[in-house]
Structure 1
Amino acid sequence: MTDAFVDLCTMENKIKGKVVAITGASSGIGEATAIMLAAQGAKVVLGARRKDRLEDLVGRIKAAGGEAVYLVTDIKNHGDLVQLVHLACETFGRLDVIVNNAGIARLSRVDAVQVSDWEEMIDVNLKGTLYGIAAALPIFLKQGFGHIINIISTSGIKIVPLQGVYAGTKNAVRTITEAMRQESGGLYRVTGISPGLVNTELIDHIKDEAARIAVKEKAAQIAITPDAIAAAVTYAISQPDHVEVGDIVVRPSVQD
């Protein structure tokens, strides 16, 4: 029996006991990831802005026999991410993984010059991810292990109208993720996951009405569920310590 076969058969056990911090955990991909990991024995540390949803999610996870704590977290505030990581270490003694998931989409033509929307996407999608990285890296360097998972987007792979600035922020994260992977020297793992069209509340928050309606109509036809992305996160974490999954793209099979 090969080592690879043994690893495959025991993959689920590699999740058990992992301490995983997740941003944007109150809905969508973050919520699905928290539930899936907790069901496999991970200890999840959940950050988002909506306290009521975090409380409800933690309650559901605990009722199912899982372990979870939460902290109201605004990823535009570096200090909030530091506190989220601190909560993980204080509660569970370490941090194994941070999933930088929180993000927003403000879709419009570049010549519409929606500067405030640009700034918000840069603050959340780019700076918020960097703040999560900055909060976790000192812990990982001290421990000698860790795993950074950045949720990116296929919008940064195929460039289309209305998504220029949004895709720009996601491609910046893609570049940072690959640079970190090369810099890590195996001391910590780095994974980028690019979801395609997923049925989440992100669509509801698109300000441009025409764009929101168009995306909603397309999502109703082809969108995949957040569980598909949660499964990709779980797969990346499940690998043996010496195996790094650098890049995963998960999208509807019929998406262009």
Structure 2
Amino acid sequence: MNKHLAGTVAIVTGASSGIGRSTALELAAHGASVAVVARRQDHLDALVGEIQNTGGTALAIAADITDRAQATSAVERTVADLGRLDILINNAGLMLLGTVSEQDIQDWDRMIAINQTGLLSMTRAALPHLQAAATREPRRVADIVNISSIAGRVAWPTFGVYNMTKFGVNGFTEALRQEVTKSHVRVGLLEPGAVETELVSHNTDDVKKALAASDDIAEWLQPQDIAESIAYMVTRPRRSSIAELWAMPTAQA
């Protein structure tokens, strides 16, 4: 594989499983040193070992990014230990479904905290370092990729608060892109459809049964499909910015 990202440093949140884990492996294969951020230390340690076994460089940072201080610390530790920051992948997310009238309000708070507040905190802490990287070799460009969802484009019953968080991510991403793109900090949005990850597993058994009953998608995307899309976005030449990428299973598109 071409080492398009040699000499760069990336942070991937939500890296303990699913899309985040696959993305960390993919970026490392392209030559980036990768800081993997999530709450499950054992999963992160295993991922770092896998990257190191293939000759890559990785750093495990156990953190709860819904705590602004921990999010900021994760960024600062990355820069202190790995020397710089070129790429931020805001992947951490939570999808808890239920009707507006009946869903546990604590589920709302948890989704807002992870899907929005955590993303904001990571972005704010990373931005000065990304702006500095965009002025330096090896690429003279930096990247933020925010992982949203088809639920940031289309609303459905029982998805209300999750829809709200992802529609918000979409709007924030576009506003930030306009603010920083001329300084060669590229800000991109990736909206996956159905991907086979742990995302659904955090719901109640009733919700999972309802989702399974309504599922008419013959073949879901795999985390690697999204990881490859992210890698495509951040390995474009400096002159090229992918503002939005919608990645769907063929049967769902």
Q: TM-score, normalised by structure 2?
A: 0.92
In structure 2, list runs of 5 or more residues that go unmatched.
136-140
AA at the equivalent of 1:84: A
Aligned to 1:248: 245
More helix by share: 1
Partner residue of 1:230 out of 227, 232, 236 = 227
Q: CA deviation at 1:117?
A: 0.7
Q: Counterparts of 2:94 and 2:13 in 1: how far apart (Å)?
A: 12
* Aligned 1:81-160 pairs, distance under 5 A: 81-143=71-133, 144=135, 145-160=141-156
Is 1:70 the counterpart of 2:60 in the alignment? yes
1:14, 1:240 within 8 Å by CA — same for their partners in 2?
Answer: no
Partner residue of 1:168 out of 151, 164, 170 = 164
Partner residue of 2:41 out of 38, 51, 56 = 51
AA at the equivalent of 1:249: W
AA at the equivalent of 1:201: E
Q: CA deviation at 1:194?
A: 0.5
In structure 1, list runs of 5 or more residues that go unmatched.
1-10
* Mean Cα deviation higher: 103-112 or 212-221: 212-221
Q: Counterparts of 2:150 and 2:95 in 1: how far apart (Å)?
A: 13
SS at match of 1:150: strand
1:197, 1:219 within 8 Å by CA — same for their partners in 2?
Answer: no
Q: CA deviation at 1:17?
A: 2.5
1:106, 1:117 within 8 Å by CA — same for their partners in 2?
Answer: yes
Q: CA deviation at 1:36?
A: 1.1
2:147, 2:189 within 8 Å by CA — same for their partners in 1?
Answer: yes
Q: Counterparts of 1:219 and 1:141 in 2: how far apart (Å)?
A: 44
Query: Quick one: structure 1 residues 113 and 211, their matched pair in 2 at CA, closer, same or farther if it must change by over 3 Å?
Result: closer
Q: Counterparts of 2:212 and 2:17 in 1: how far apart (Å)?
A: 17
Q: CA deviation at 1:146?
A: 2.4
Aligned to 2:207: 211
Q: Counterparts of 1:228 and 1:215 in 2: how far apart (Å)?
A: 22
Query: Quick one: structure 1 residues 117 and 219, their matched pair in 2 at CA, closer, same or farther if it must change by over 3 Å?
Result: farther
AA at the equivalent of 2:242: V
Partner residue of 1:201 out of 183, 198, 202 = 198
2:4, 2:31 within 8 Å by CA — same for their partners in 1?
Answer: no
Q: Counterparts of 2:100 and 2:110 in 1: how far apart (Å)?
A: 15
Aligned to 1:42: 32
Q: Counterparts of 2:31 and 2:123 in 1: how far apart (Å)?
A: 24
Query: Quick one: structure 1 residues 243 and 119, their matched pair in 2 at CA, closer, same or farther if it must change by over 3 Å?
Result: same
Q: TM-score, normalised by structure 1?
A: 0.91
Q: Counterparts of 2:20 and 2:216 in 1: how far apart (Å)?
A: 19
Q: CA deviation at 1:220?
A: 7.6
1:45, 1:87 within 8 Å by CA — same for their partners in 2?
Answer: no
Q: CA deviation at 1:242?
A: 2.1
Q: Counterparts of 1:100 and 1:35 in 2: how far apart (Å)?
A: 15
Which 4+ residue blocks in structure 1 deviate beyond 4 angstroms? none
Matched residue count: 245
AA at the equivalent of 1:205: H
Q: CA deviation at 1:69?
A: 0.6
Q: Counterparts of 1:220 and 1:55 in 2: how far apart (Å)?
A: 34
Q: Counterparts of 2:207 and 2:150 in 1: how far apart (Å)?
A: 17
Q: CA deviation at 1:79?
A: 1.6
Q: Counterparts of 2:121 and 2:67 in 1: how far apart (Å)?
A: 8
Seq. identity, %:
37
Q: Counterparts of 2:94 and 2:104 in 1: how far apart (Å)?
A: 14
2:195, 2:220 within 8 Å by CA — same for their partners in 1?
Answer: yes
